Structure 1
């Protein structure tokens, strides 16, 4: 692929947006490549966690490639959304955003579509679309208020201001900040930690959280959780038997992810 790369390391997939000359901004060909990468990730039973980052040391992604748009090219987005992630509602495998610099507009929306954000100490985040006559319609206007609360989110959205990584931690959307040279190591360590756990349990947990956020009441969410597909799959899985058996035998479990 030309605009993105994907490499496997055990059960982890490392996805890199590869347009550093454009601050890793995305245009339709890049979006199509990323959509295919995440289609393949979702379908591969041997891949349990993904990390997405940007090439170079300046940007995770500057969002939509406005130069491409200004040149008169058509702007299209795959059904699974910007970067193949922002409208991918059925992905139960965890995705980590390793934000290595600027995450602006659609770039921030990609990160918000991930489950965990780890940021380099020079990372910055913003939804500046109103500055160029646009709006953050790739999920940012929905995910940011759900993540940090309406008033704090509106303080970012209605000003388009940039937020440094440390403030992102304080606001609650960044999990951890590390020196840029240590960012990928930190993301790999987090992915490795996730991979020590049952992938069936992880998928069920992610699905319950995601689906309960939009449920009317705590009682409804609680009583409905056993009907979620990933929870049903967990109860039928080999991992459900392996976990207690490994505990009883005082050994590390050998997860199958099925």
Structure 2
């Protein structure tokens, strides 16, 4: 099923939501209206019990997302993000459903920050990544300053942040912020493969795992191991039908029928 939006395409395929930024004429840079659309789309995804995984990509072959629409800023439109952050995602800290970034070209500024906010990043062989804000009198305020050092280490992150240097998909794979490169060019199939592997797991387990990983990043290990039992998504998993279904399916040598509850 496809839902019409002006700047963003949305397709729902079973449990999977595919979001496509559709502004190729400006390298999928985001205007204020595009931000609002993406916020609404991810609001719907978060609230829909039938949608378990999302993929976000860009239209065309040149760009995933070139960040903010700087022409809009130059015309007095500003660079305001919605409360949930760039593209409605970079400050959405309560989303426990996984999101995959399928980076099909340049991911610059906010576009790279958007990819960093996703749980899995797959990229075309021609994709590139940079946080070039310092070159245009800005700073990576959409989470890049905080997330990139955590992803690749302080010195490597400072090297990118202080120069605006661009890295290839292959370099991103080596540094660890890219999970896999689509060498054959079939990027969306690669993203769907990752989504399929996630969808084969219990959505309750996936949400509990994502929530525990996120919370554990800011707590000592010994504290996180104790506290994880009381995290909301973990408590929901332990009380769910899926918690019973998984072991039962294993014992009966059959494919589990996940219900997400």
TM range (shorter): over 0.9
Segments of structure 1 that go 5 or more residues without pairing to the other structure are none
After TM superposition, the score normalised by the length of structure 1 is: 0.98
SS in 1 for 2:186: helix
Contact 1:102 1:124 in 2 (8 A): yes
2:217 aligns to what?
213
Q: 1:64 and 2:64 equivalent?
A: no
1:148 aligns to what?
152
Contact 1:100 1:180 in 2 (8 A): no
Residue number among 40, 50, 62 corresponding to 1:36 in the alignment: 40
Q: Please identify runs of 4+ aligned residues in structure 1 that moved more than 2 A.
A: none
Q: Give the whole-Å Cα distance in 1 for the aligned partners of 2:216 and 2:258.
A: 26
Contact 2:131 2:161 in 1 (8 A): yes
Q: How many residues align?
A: 257
Q: Give the whole-Å Cα distance in 1 for the aligned partners of 2:226 and 2:185.
A: 45
2:246 aligns to what?
243
SS in 2 for 1:181: coil
Alpha-carbon displacement from aligned partner over 1:87-121 (angstroms, at most 9, x marks no partner): 00000000000000000000000000000100000
2:177 aligns to what?
173
Segments of structure 2 that go 5 or more residues without pairing to the other structure are none
SS in 1 for 2:56: strand
Alpha-carbon displacement from aligned partner over 1:128-173 (angstroms, at most 9, x marks no partner): 0000000000000001111111111111111110000000011110
The Cα shift of 1:27 comes to: 1.1
Q: 1:76 and 2:77 equivalent?
A: no
1:88 aligns to what?
92
Contact 1:34 1:84 in 2 (8 A): yes
The CA RMSD measured in Å over matched residues stands at 0.8
Q: 1:183 and 2:183 equivalent?
A: no
Alpha-carbon displacement from aligned partner over 1:18-38 (angstroms, at most 9, x marks no partner): 100010000110000000000
SS in 1 for 2:178: coil
